Amino acid sequence: MAQNYTIGASTAQITLELNVNTIGLAASRVFYLDVAGTGAGKAVAHSVDATGDIATAPVGNFSTLKGMRLATFTKISLIGADADARQTEANNCTAECTIDGGDGGIKTYTNPDKTYLDPNVFLSFSIDMQ
């Protein structure tokens, strides 16, 4: 389910920070997509280590992102032979996505969509830029 962020009349660079909480190995990417579905998406940020975290990064200016959907995708690979332990860790996997630069100010999203397909957890945020 898409959430919203207000760029409004701001002319600032929009930034994003993603924090992934897991003991598994994680990788994340951020794209912007045309909400109307008329064009291909463009990757604008990615994690650089196995935490899945993305340090505060510019993801586009106001004119590029307004009317687009910012989408984050994280894949977490859980390790260990115990299926019950992997299930418990999957339940504990969380993420926070923080956006800044628009009229909405600093806004943190804490409820990613989550799918568990043993041994992998998939987390995503969909944020419409208004």
Ordered by start, the domain boundaries in the chain are 3-129
> What integer is the mean pLDDT of 17-43?
92
Strand-pair partners of 105:
none
Mean pLDDT (the chain, rounded):
95
Assess whether pLDDT exceeds 80 at residue 16: yes
Among residues 77, 66, 68, which one has the least CA distance to residue 28?
77
The CA-atom distances, in angstroms, between 63 and each of 11, 14, 40 are 8, 10, 17
> What integer is the mean pLDDT of 97-113?
98
Assess whether pLDDT exceeds 80 at residue 38: no
Q: Tokens standing for 68?
A: 């687009």
- For the four alpha carbons of 89, 91, 30 and 5, in that order, the dihedral sign comes to negative
Within 10 angstroms of residue 109's Cβ, the number of other Cβ atoms is 18
Which CATH fold would you assign to the domain 3-129? Lipoxygenase-1 (2.60.60)
Assess whether pLDDT exceeds 80 at residue 51: yes
Q: What is the pLDDT of residue 72?
A: 98
